[in-house]
Amino acid sequence: MSMLIKNLEYLMYKNRISANQLQELTGVAQSTTTRILNGNTTNPRDDVIEKYAAYFGYTAAQLRYDDIENNVKISDIVGVDNVVVGQVETDIQIPIYATYFCCGDGNDADFEEIKGYRGFSPDFFKTRNIKPDNFKLVCATNDSMSPHIEDGDEVGIDVSDKQIKDGEVYAILLDGAKMFKQIFFEGGGKLRLHSFNPNYDDKILTTDTADSLIVVGRKVYRAG
C-alpha cells in the first residue's frame, strides 16, 4: 500500500467521508478516488492530489509522502513530486521507465510507461544532492558501454544535470537515437562521444553537427 492510499483512507475514516461525499467536497470523481484506493491508479495526477490536499488541509507532498496518522514527515526530507513512498517510511519508490538507451530509436526520451519501482533511501538523494523528482530510472540495452553499463542494467540519470562536464557519462539523444556515452571536450569546439567497449568507435561531433546532440541527463546510478 502506498503512503497516499494510507493517508486517504485514514483521513476519510477520521472525517467520516465516503468516496461519493469526497466527490461533492473536492470535485474529484468517485470513480477516480475508488481507483486510487484500490491501487488501480498508481501515480495520480498532481491536480487530483492537490484537490484532496486542499480539502483536508495538507500540501500535496504531505499527502503523498508523510505518514499523517503517525505524524512521520517524509516530505520535509524529499520535497518533491512524482515519487511514491512505500510502507517503510524511509523508502522512496522511484518508477522504472520502459525507456531504453544505448541503441534505441525515437525522437525523445519519454518518461511515461512504468515497468516497476525501485526503492531508495532519502540519504541516497541527499548525499548526491539530487531531487527524487529529477531522478529517472531507465533501461540499458546493447553492450556499447560494457563493462561500465551492461545490457539490461537499470541506469539512474539526473535530468536536471544537462551541462556537459568533461569525462562524465550522459544519457543523450543523437539524431533521435537514445544512448549512453562518455563525453569529452576536444580542441576546436569538438565533442568526443566515447563507448567503453573497444568494439565500438568513438563519435566526433563538430560545431556543425553538435545540434544533433540533446543531453537528457547525467548518469548517477547503475544497477545490474
Q: Domain residue spans in the chain?
A: 3-80, 93-223
What cell was used for 108?
525523445
43-87 pLDDT tens trace: 788 888 889 988 888 888 888 878 888 766 554 444 444 444 444
186, 192 Cβ separation under 8 angstroms: yes
Among the residue ranges 93-107, 139-153, 185-199, the one predicted with the least confidence is: 93-107
Do the two domains 3-80 and 93-223 of this chain adopt the same fold?
no
CATH T-level fold of 93-223? Umud Fragment, subunit A (2.10.109)
pLDDT of residue 43: 76
| Mean pLDDT, rounded, for 194-216 | 90
Encode pLDDT of 6-36 as tens digits: 889 989 988 888 888 988 889 999 999 998 8
User: Is residue 138 predicted with pLDDT exceeding 50?
Assistant: yes
Average pLDDT of the residues of the chain: 82
Task: Give the pLDDT of residue 162.
Answer: 92
For the cut 90, the answer to whether the pLDDT of residue 182 exceeds it is yes
Distances (CA, A) of 222 to 67, 89, 217: 30, 24, 14
pLDDT band of 139, cuts 50, 70, 90: confident
Q: How confident is the model at residue 122 (pLDDT cuts 50, 70, 90)?
A: confident
CA distance 98 to 48: 25
- Residue 199 confidence (pLDDT): 92
Q: Give the DSSP per-residue string, 129-188.
A: T--GGGEEEEEE-SSTTTTTS-TT-EEEEETT--S--TT-EEEEEETTEEEEEEEEE-GG
DSSP the chain: --HHHHHHHHHHHHTT--HHHHHHHH---HHHHHHHHTTS-SS--HHHHHHHHHHHT--HHHHHH-BTTTTB--HHHH--SS-EE-SSTT-EEEEEEEEEESS---SS-----EEEEEEE-HHHHHHHT--GGGEEEEEE-SSTTTTTS-TT-EEEEETT--S--TT-EEEEEETTEEEEEEEEE-GGG-EEEE-SSTTS--EEE-TTTGGGEEEEEEEEEEE-
Strands 92-101 and 135-140: parallel
pLDDT given at position 68 = 84
pTM: 0.59
- What is the CATH topology of the domain spanning 3-80? 434 Repressor (Amino-terminal Domain) (1.10.260)
Nearest by Cα to 67 from 91, 43, 35: 91
Q: What is the mean pLDDT of residues 87-100?
A: 69
pLDDT-derived band at 96, boundaries 50, 70, 90: confident
> Is 90 exceeded by the pLDDT of residue 169?
yes
pLDDT over 70 (residue 109)? no
